[in-house]
Amino acid sequence: MGSPPRPPIAGLPEGLARRRDERMVAGVCAGVARWLGVDPIVVRLAACILALANGAGLLLYLVAWALLPEEAAGAADQAEAPGAGRGTKRGSQLALAVGCITLGALLLVRWITPFFLDQIVWPAAVAATGIGLVLARAGDSDRARWREAATRLPGNPVEAFRGGWMVWARVLVGAGLLIAGIGFFLSSNDALAAVGGVGIAVLATMLGGALLFSPWVARLVRQLGEERRERIRNEERADMAAHLHDSVLQTLALIQRHADTPQQARSLARRQERELRAWLYDGRRSSSSDAPGTLAMALDGVADEVEADHGVAVDVVVVGDCGVNEHVDALVAAVREAVLNAARHSGAGEVSVYAEVVGDGRIEAFVRDRGRGFDPATVNGDRRGITHSIVRRMARHGGWAHVHSAPGEGTEVTFELGLEAESTP
Amino acid sequence: MTPTAPTRVFLVDDHRLFLSGVRTELAGRVDIVGEAVDVESAVEGIRGTVPDVVLLDVHLPGGGGRAVIEAVHRTHRAVVFLALSVSDAAEDVIGVIRAGARGYVTKTIAGDDLAQAVERVRDGDAVFSPRLAGFVLDAFAGDLPPGTSLDPELDQITPREREVLRLLARGYTYKEIARRLEVSIKTIETHVSSVLRKLQLSSRHELTRWATDRRLV
């Protein structure tokens, strides 16, 4: 069990596979039973009896576990899905089974050979239970990945027999140390020799193990890291696909249905464009500015709102940027009224908004359209009211606004606000 | 070249739908001599046809619009590029301008305006969208930190150029700017070309720092 199971071997009988749905340990008995066409209990009993015969059954079981492929997922996945409680229950059952088998096997060996003592048997059984738990927790998909990764690695000790002399040498030295260590350990245990000897033996064993397995383990870890990254990439891709489906495809469908009303189609397209831009670049923008709100963001919000409600394109260009206080809020509100005014009355399809934070602590803003324009002296009451409200609002906050317009020439509203107004309320 | 001959235009864009749209819009106004959908075929096609103006998408498979400009300018300095993009990201716009494009417009531009922009770059002038003008104002704003060597020819814009850029950013056309400032259109074109040259050649640290830091969309 310590070494990873090997991949399925060609030439195995068709249909002979470990079963996930009816397994007690790894599904070997259930798989063999189905292949033979008998009840799993029969095979399990046979295995247990064989296990008592010098551990032959256990050995066979382990070999079969390593050799037999696992049956395809699907039905088994569905059986696994409902409730995590069942999974943990089976996990502990599996751990208990592994522990019992190991314990039985070791007791058997102790009975045959005089070297094995109780202090080896019990810890080993506990360790095996632990390994069983870990394996059960890991789940089959993880184990399948380990196995797949393991077989691809040239450092695998099993694969070493195909490798060059360096690999051979490392395996030989490692195996030698391992054997020497175990031998030392056993003999010193037997004779109750000096504690130092035991230490050396343990050290030798660890060294051997490390030499034998470390390059392989390192590569395995690296490979698993790469696979994890790949998985994250796939998740991002799926995220992107979901977003495109939810928003972009829906909007495209809407645009096709509104093909005969160009105004509406254009407004849909603009809104989707803004949404997509925000989605693509939002993370970057929020990471580059610490302030929760800025003039640029506020004006973008105004543009979003007016475009959505009135179907005109609002182009926003902001040079420099600053945080938002009550005066800046007032400016943004005044700009919003001017943009709304242009969208409602000018008849232009496009409104330009330009704002600049000037070096000497002022904000200048311009709202411009190329619509029909008006004569500010003769304009009707409603429109004059809005104009006045813009001018008054700016005056209250220590700034000013000026409306420049003439029939047929479009309209431009100019705003100016001193930022130092914030320090003298 | 005589002004009456139609402008020879080469289109580079990896979206075939967009290519066919531009072809329809420009039909009859310019002579479209070729098309390409990636960097390699674009460089090859442009060297083969030597057009007056290349309409170039900023985002292209195989290195982006930048790579096309750099490769073509190694052998054909005279070919003029006008960048077209859906992206308003500062690093994209500035990147392609500094590589040598004579102007930048967004893909939502109307057919008439596009044809006008093509003629303008063919005649050696620069084409700035309001947003590009905003970017330049941002890039040339403020004083350099003390100790930085400053080339006034390249690293600063004049008050007049600033005025022109601000009007461009406010959505004014060249004609409207000329009328407002009471100068000829030619003067405005000279100012904008001068700004373009500074944008391409200035080593002002803001140009690079700001392109990576601000990331305004």
- B166 close to B97: Cβ distance less than 8 angstroms: no
Dump pLDDT digits (tens) for A6-36: 444 555 666 677 777 777 777 778 887 777 7
Residues of A whose CB is below 8 A from B211? none
Tell me the DSSP string of B163-202. HHHHHHHTT--HHHHHHHHTS-HHHHHHHHHHHHHHHHH-
A361 against A3, higher pLDDT: A361
Residue of B170, B206, B209, B212 to mutate for A, most A C-beta atoms under 10 A: B170
- B90 close to B216: Cβ distance less than 8 angstroms: yes
Alpha helices in A4-39 (DSSP H): 28-36
Residue B10, pLDDT score? 94
Sheet holding A400-405, edge to edge: A313-319, A350-358, A362-369, A411-418, A400-405
Residue B205, pLDDT score? 53
* Lookup: tokens for A328: 């800046």
Angle at alpha carbon of residue A215, lines to A209 and A220, rounded to 5°: 110
User: What is the distance between the alpha carbons of residues A305 and A271, in angstroms, rounded to a whole number?
Assistant: 9
Residue A307, pLDDT score? 83
Q: pLDDT at residue A206 above 60?
A: yes
Residue of A307, A319, A416 to mutate for B, most B C-beta atoms under 10 A: A319
Give Rg (Cα) of chain B.
17
Q: pLDDT at residue A2 above 90?
A: no
Least confident of A225-229, A374-378, B79-83: A374-378
Q: How confident is the model at residue B52 (pLDDT cuts 50, 70, 90)?
A: very high
- What percent of chain A is modeled with pLDDT above 90? 5
Q: Mind telling me how many Å the CA of A346 is from chain B's nearest CA? A: 16
Taking CB atoms and an 8 Å limit, are A288 and B214 in contact across chains? yes
Residue A91, pLDDT score? 56
DSSP state of A378: T
C-alpha torsion angle, residues B123, B193, B94, A293 (rounded to 10): -120
- A132 close to A126: Cβ distance less than 8 angstroms: no
- The pairs formed by A399-405 with CB atoms below 8 angstroms and a separation of 24 or more are A399/A327, A399/A330, A399/A331, A401/A334, A401/A338, A403/A376, A405/A373, A405/A374, A405/A375, A405/A376
Please provide the average confidence, as pLDDT, over all residues in chain A: 71
Q: What ranges make up the beta strands (E) of B27-113? A: 31-36, 53-57, 80-85, 104-106
Taking CB atoms and an 8 Å limit, are B133 and A317 in contact across chains? yes
Tell me the DSSP string of B118-149. HHHHHTT--B--HHHHHHHHHHT-SPPPTT--
Dmax over CA atoms of chain B, in Å, equals 55
Q: How confident is the model at residue A146 (pLDDT cuts 50, 70, 90)?
A: low
A165 against B18, higher pLDDT: B18
Beta-bridge partner residues of A40: none
Least confident of A113-122, A360-369, B59-68: A113-122
Q: pLDDT at residue B89 above 80?
A: no
Report the residue from A317, A318, A320 with minimal CB separation from B141. Answer: A320
Q: Which secondary structure element, helix H or strand E, spans residue B69, and what is its range?
A: helix B64-75
* Lookup: tokens for B50: 């030597």
Residues of B whose CB is below 8 A from A366? 170
Taking CB atoms and an 8 Å limit, are B213 and A285 in contact across chains? no
Q: How confident is the model at residue B51 (pLDDT cuts 50, 70, 90)?
A: very high
Burial A256-278 (b: 16+ CB within 10 A, else e): eebeeeeeebbbbbbbbbbebbe
- B130 close to B171: Cβ distance less than 8 angstroms: yes
Please provide the average confidence, as pLDDT, over all residues in chain B: 83
Q: pLDDT at residue B31 above 80?
A: yes
Residue A138, pLDDT score? 47
Dump pLDDT digits (tens) for A351-378: 999 999 887 778 999 999 988 888 777 7
pTM, rounded to two decimals? 0.57
DSSP state of A314: E
Q: How far is CA A20 from CA A26, A28, B80, B117, in A?
A: 7, 9, 67, 68
